Chains A and B, each alone.
Chain A
Amino acid sequence: MSVFYDKFQRHSEGVGLKGNSTHYCPGCGHGLAHKYLAEAIAELGIQDNTVLVSPVGCSVFAYYYFDVGNTQAAHGRAAAVALGHKLSNPEANVISYQGDGDLASIGLAETVSAAQLGAPITVIFINNAIYGMTGGQMAPTSLMGQSTATSPDGRSMFNGQPMRMAELIAGLDGPVYVERVALFDAKNRRLAKKAIKKAVQCQVEGRGYAFIEVLAECPTHLKLSPEETEKWVKEQMVPVFPLGVKKDLAVDPWWKRPSPDFEPAHMLKAAGASSDAASRYCEAFPTHLNPLDISLKLAGSGGDGAQTAAMLIARAAINEGFDATHIPSYGPESRGGTSYADVHVAKDEVLNPASPHPDVLIAFNAPSLAKFGPTVVKGGTIVYDSSIVKDVPEGIDPSVKVVGAPFTEIAVDLGKAVVKNIVALGALQAATGLFPKETILAAVRQALKDKCALIPLNEEAFAWGVKAVEEGRK
């Protein structure tokens, strides 16, 4: 059985002669490449499992002819479409059929990256050294001196030199098989047929990416007879685009992709979800800090752990059944050594997650205290690292409670400077009574559930933070 449709229904509704003729010009190489590809698909017995990606160019209508799954792609994107299909549907044999403008000009990035990725797709590249569909303009593969609609005086150095795609692709690590073939005589047609079949077979066997460049005839735009065009390809093109195998690796079949997993337990595990309810320790919302929505800011430099501490506060609040949000500063700002976090803890719903005027500020260093201290609301609280900040700056409202605790010193004494953010949380708890101690400790334990060995150290850090504030240690 032929892999061509019995009747080309998509070609002018299959009416009349078009029902069984291609739209290609007389003598065009596309028809031959189509025939050899169709034969390969038939001989390999993969008609039902083949998807052909048609490009933009003269072969835009390849889907008129091949009785396989068909997708028509945007100009230059056929390889990307083919790859997207192959990765989603690994069992399908996906063939990207493209011309020179499509593959070697507008789609060069997609072509090269798909080749280097090496997933087993088959790319059939028709190089006829000219743009066909748009009417004879210069192609990336046009020859030096070749006169085209956009190089009327002949391609010159100013237009750049012809792209040797087979060599370029063969130079990449991804492809397993690359060959350049031609159609101008019986011997080369036989080789072309063999190469196309082999390229498809590479995919069927899951051995890898294969690329066949076919030097083809475009009599129309070369303004030559089909016979003269065959001669032109042989005499003019072949010296620039040498025929033959460019790469043929003996690679064992490797392409095997599992079917996607839809096991609910796996899904929940991936999402980090658990059905174990967190214990609650809070009796009521800490209205003494704000009746509905407590706004906090944590500010320090990169290694201070402000973001982690912010996250723990949000986690703790949510465990208690409140709403909470945390917004980090990010991007270059965060790379510049500063790290700010805005946290809200709301009784019902956080309305505005930013903290331009916090109820509570935790400052890990002097610049942070200087920058944000004055933004704290009247009657608010500031907790700062007294081992780093020596003088409390001006501009803080006198009604604000300012509490220092030696976060860093305590952490260093405990042997791990990184726990200073947990010391800070202890200090925060003691200074504000935001939540019961257990609420924050439970969140710390939850966060460290995969690193249990660190829990005692963190608990100790927290306790020292509390103690420092309670005892007024500076």
Chain B
Amino acid sequence: MAQLKERPKPFLLPDYCKGCGRCISACAKGCITFDKEIDAATGYVPVVIDLETCNACGLCMDACPEPYGLRETPVDVDFELQDPAKLFGGKTTSAPEPVEIPNTLIPLPRTEPLVIKGNYASAIGALLAGCRHVFGYPITPSTEGAELMAKLLPKLDGTFLQAVSEVAAVNHMYGSGGAGYPCMTFTSSPGFSLMLEGVSYMIGAEVPGVFVNIMRGGPGLGNIAPEQSDVKLACRGLGHGNTHAITLMPSTPQEMLDLTMLAFELTFKYRSPVILLGDGYLGQMTGKVMLPDAMIKPGIPKWAVNGDANHRGNLISSIYLSEHDLEQHNIYLNDKYRQMAENESRCETFMADDAEILIIATNTPARASKGAVQDLRQQGVKAGLFRPITVWPFPVKQLAAILPHVKQMVVVEASNGQLEDEIRLALSNAGVTTLPAITNVRHFGGMLPQQTEVLAHVKAILAKEAR
């Protein structure tokens, strides 16, 4: 058959030849041979092509591993010009500058309170915040959140994927969050441990995502009863590298909803994962939950790798090969952490204004402590509650402000002092060196400190003082 169009013959700039020789054996006509000398620029011996007998079969070009190695002879190229910048152009990509598609706030009518479990409240909060992509691995006591999502998301044309493991789940989130979508997971302590590698990558690559961790008893498999012993993990141990993430600790089903919504706002605001820590009781607890007056329809951020022309130029990656670049990236992340600390430290106080005995607690133990404060006040004891809502960043300014009149701090927690460590570290970093006496009420292994225990502890302190 007659060849109508002439096929292009190979062309090579020696600077882009690595001298592998794969083209030599590919050429049936023997047109290609090694050059005599090493190319000064590359240190490789390039090939030379004798086009005399070349029949433009193209097989050598298919055999060359280099994108800009053996290629079709370009038309309109001045063969004398060997400056690659001129030859291939200085532009790296034709992708446009990405445009941000903002979120839309959609008003909701007033509704009657829901009576739902904390885990459900969190799931509904996520849906209201615009999350339609949930990845999870079943683990007690957080599973109801995932189960509700599996039930509701298909009704809202969203996706719930039961991942093969928590390791996969966090990486599904890396893909989804990296594409600019609000996504989340429900997990519990052992599962959270498994996700930490991914969390480090998400922080490094600046990928948003919300982790709801309903903490259970540990270490190891421990049990499935409530504990608060992942505070250390969330505040000090988010995988490798210099990592931090905003960590919210709700104390009621209502807050499970509100803080989950806040978590989505913050995860996109800072382009960094946000963690919500609840104790097992909170996830299982049913209570009164009011819906907000608006829900969110998410847009697509500028930086997302969204698989469209607009975002084609984007990259999600945590790699910074040069030490200098990685240091700069860390400085940039540290600055982000500083901004989080400045803007997002949250707490609630209860009768703390003149408190001499300040109880510090989070989650369900904070509710028990609130009850204890009320009892103590009725008995004329100047007690108050300080409840960190963000345990990282720790609301240290707010705490330092009320410390001057505090004589005793009582840290109430279901862990071996993980919250207390955060308090001490935060105060120390803030330069608060004169501290009131610190005592504690602690439980581990699946029990939460009770109101009666807090009460008894404070009374014992008072009795000792009176002596």
Chain A positions within 8 Å of B, measured between CB atoms, are: 1-2, 4-10, 14, 17, 19-22, 24-32, 34-35, 38, 47-51, 53-54, 60-61, 63, 65, 67-74, 77, 80-89, 91-94, 109-110, 112-113, 117, 185-186, 189-190, 193, 219, 225-227, 230, 257-262, 264, 266-278, 293, 311, 314-315, 318, 323-328, 330-332, 350-354, 356-357
Contacts and interface: CB of A to CB of B under 8 A. Distances in A.
Given A73-B171, A77-B171, A85 B179 contact: yes
B281 A327 contact: yes
A364 to B, nearest CB: 19
Contacts of B156: 260-262, 266-267, 270
Interface stretch (B105-113, B265-273, B334-342): B105-113
A190 B62 contact: yes
B149 to A, nearest CB: 10
A323 to B, nearest CB: 6
Given A26-B18, A260-B157, A267 B287 contact: no
Contacts of B374: 351
A20 B62 contact: no
A87 B16 contact: no
Contact of B111 (A7, A72, A274, A356): A274
Interface in B146-175: 152, 155-159, 161, 163-165, 167-168, 171-175
Contacts of A6: 88-93
B18 A271 contact: no
A84 B317 contact: no
Contact of B291 (A80, A93, A273): A273
Number of chain B interface residues as a range = 35 or more
B168 A110 contact: yes
Nearest to A9: B92
Interface in B203-218: 205
Contact of B312 (A8, A47, A74): A47
A109 B194 CA distance: 14
Contacts of B20: 26-28, 219, 226
Given A80-B175, A351-B371, A326 B285 contact: yes
Nearest to B307: A92
Given A80-B174, A85-B179, 7 more contacts: A17-B41, A38-B67, A82-B175, A186-B62, A324-B287, A352-B368, A356-B452
B127 interface: yes
10 smallest CB-CB distances across A and B, nearest first, come from A92-B307, A31-B65, A84-B175, A84-B172, A27-B20, A351-B371, A80-B171, A113-B164, A85-B175, A72-B317
Contacts of B315: 10, 63, 70-72
Contacts of B42: 17
B190 interface: no
Interface of B: 15-16, 18-22, 24-26, 41-42, 44, 59, 62-69, 84-85, 88-95, 106-116, 124, 127-128, 130, 132-133, 135, 140-141, 152, 155-159, 161, 163-165, 167-168, 171-179, 181, 183, 197-198, 201, 205, 223-225, 253, 281, 284-288, 291, 295, 297, 305-309, 311-312, 314-319, 364, 367-368, 370-371, 374, 448, 450-452
Contacts of A38: 67
B370 to A, nearest CB: 5
B450 to A, nearest CB: 6
Contact of A20 (B26, B64, B84): B84
A430 B213 CA distance: 42
A330 B142 CA distance: 12
Interface centre among A4, A80, A260 (most CB of B within 10 A): A80
A271 B127 contact: yes
Contacts of A48: 308-309, 312
Given A85-B178, A274-B111, A267 B308 contact: no
Contact of B314 (A69, A259, A273): A69
Contact of B174 (A17, A30, A73): A73
A311 B117 CA distance: 10
B179 A89 contact: yes
Contact of A264 (B107, B224, B307): B107
A326 B149 CA distance: 22
Nearest to B318: A72
B287 A323 contact: yes
A94 B307 contact: yes
Contacts of B65: 22, 24, 27-32, 34-35
A323 B288 CA distance: 7
Given A85-B176, A186-B59, A260-B132, A327 B21 contact: no
29 contacts: A17-B16, A21-B18, A28-B65, A31-B69, A34-B67, A48-B309, A69-B305, A69-B314, A77-B171, A80-B171, A81-B175, A84-B177, A87-B159, A89-B176, A110-B164, A257-B159, A261-B158, A267-B127, A269-B155, A273-B291, A276-B112, A278-B112, A311-B115, A318-B113, A327-B285, A331-B140, A353-B281, A353-B364, A354-B281
Given A7-B90, A80-B163, A331-B224, A264 B63 contact: no
B179 A227 contact: no
A332 B89 CA distance: 67
Contacts of B178: 71, 81, 85
Given A89-B307, A260-B157, A323-B288, A7 B92 contact: yes
A110 B171 contact: yes
A331 B44 CA distance: 67
Contacts of B19: 26
A47 B93 CA distance: 12
Contacts of A29: 65
A318 B115 contact: yes
A41 to B, nearest CB: 12
B450 A356 contact: yes
Contacts of B106: 262, 264
A323 B284 CA distance: 17
